[in-house]
Amino acid sequence: MAKEWTMADTKAAQPLAPPHVPAARSARTVLLRRTRELALLPALLLLMVLGMVVNDSFLTERNIVSILGASAALAMVVLAESLVLITGKFDLSLESVVGIAPAAGALLVLPAAQSGWGTELPAALALFAILLVGAAVGAFNGILVVKFRLNAFIVTLAMLIVLRGLLVGATKGKTLFGMPDSFYSLATTTFLSAPLSVWLAAIAFAVAGLVLKYHRVGRALYAIGGNADAARAAGIRVERVMLGVFVVAGVLAAVGGIMQTGYVGAISANQGQNMIFTVFAAAVIGGISLDGGKGSMFGALTGVLLLGVVQNLLTLAQVPSFWIQAIYGGIILVALMIARVTTGRAQD
The pLDDT-based confidence of 289 (bands split at 50, 70, 90) is confident
pLDDT in tens, 121-163: 999 999 999 999 999 999 999 999 999 999 999 999 999 999 9
Give CA 313 to chain center in angstroms. 22
pTM of the model: 0.87
Other C-beta atoms lying within 10 Å of the C-beta of residue 224: 26
Q: Which residues pair with 195 in a beta bridge?
A: 190
34: pLDDT strictly greater than 70: no
Helices (H), 172-296: 185-188, 196-214, 216-226, 228-233, 238-264, 275-285
DSSP string, 275-294: HHHHHHHHHHHTT--TTSS-
279: pLDDT strictly greater than 80: yes
102: pLDDT strictly greater than 70: yes
Radius of gyration, alpha carbons of the chain: 23
Euclidean distance between CA atoms 171 and 142, whole angstroms: 27
pLDDT in tens, 163-188: 999 999 999 999 999 999 999 999 99
Q: Which residues pair with 190 in a beta bridge?
A: 195
